[in-house]
Amino acid sequence: MFTGLSKYEATRPDEFWSTTVPAHWQVMPGMAVLTENKARNTGLTESQVLSLSYGRVIMKPVEKQRGLVPDSYEGYQILEPGDIVIRPTDLQNDQRSIRVGRVRDRGIITSAYIGLRSKQPWTTDYAYLYLTAVDSTKLIYGMGSGLRQQLGWSDLKRMRCLVPPVDEQAAIVKYLVHASARIDKAIAAKRRLIALLQEQAQAEAEALIDYAAVDASEPLLGRALRRIEQGTSPSAAEGDLAEDQWAVLSLSAVNRGLFVPTALKPVDREFVVAPTLELHDGDLLMTRSNTRERVGDVAVVDGVRPKTFMSDLIYRLVLRDDLLIADFASILLRTRRVRMQIEGAARGSSDTMPKLTQGHIKGLRVSLPSLEAQKRVVATLQALSGPIWAAEARTAREVVLLQEFRTRLVADVVTGQVDVRDIAMSMPDINLASSASDVSGGVGDVTTDEVVEMSEV
The domain ranges of the chain are 1-23+165-216+369-457, 26-163, 220-366
Contact between 89 and 112 under an 8 Å Cβ cutoff? The reply is yes
CATH topology of domain 220-366: Adenine-n6-DNA-methyltransferase TaqI; Chain A, domain 2 (3.90.220)
Three-state SS string over 283-300 comes to: CEEEECECCCCCCCCEEE
3-state helix, strand, coil in the chain (%, to 5): 40, 20, 45
User: What torsion, rounded to 10 degrees, do the Cα atoms 331, 332, 333, 339 define?
Assistant: 110
pLDDT in tens, the chain (457 residues): 788 889 999 999 999 999 999 999 999 999 999 999 999 998 888 989 998 887 889 887 654 554 445 667 888 999 999 999 999 887 776 677 789 999 999 999 999 899 999 999 999 999 999 999 999 998 988 887 665 567 899 999 999 999 999 999 999 999 999 999 999 999 999 999 988 988 888 888 888 888 887 667 788 999 999 999 999 888 777 667 888 889 999 888 998 888 999 888 888 888 888 889 999 999 999 999 888 778 999 999 999 999 999 999 999 999 999 999 999 999 999 999 899 999 888 865 555 678 899 999 999 999 899 999 999 999 998 898 889 888 988 998 999 999 999 999 999 999 999 999 999 999 888 755 555 443 323 333 344 444 433 433 3
Contact between 76 and 115 under an 8 Å Cβ cutoff? The reply is no
**pTM over the 0.75 mark:** no
Distance CA(191)–CA(225), nearest Å, equals 36
Please tell me if the domain spanning 26-163 has the same topology as the one spanning 220-366.
yes
Contact between 161 and 122 under an 8 Å Cβ cutoff? The reply is yes
Distance CA(210)–CA(202), nearest Å, equals 12
Burial 99-129 (b: 16+ CB within 10 A, else e): bbbbbbeebbbbeebbbbbbeebbbbbbbbb
Superfamily in which the 26-163 domain is placed by CATH: DNA methylase specificity domains (3.90.220.20)
Distance CA(340)–CA(357), nearest Å, equals 16
* Peptide bond preceding 88 in cis form (omega within 30 of 0): no
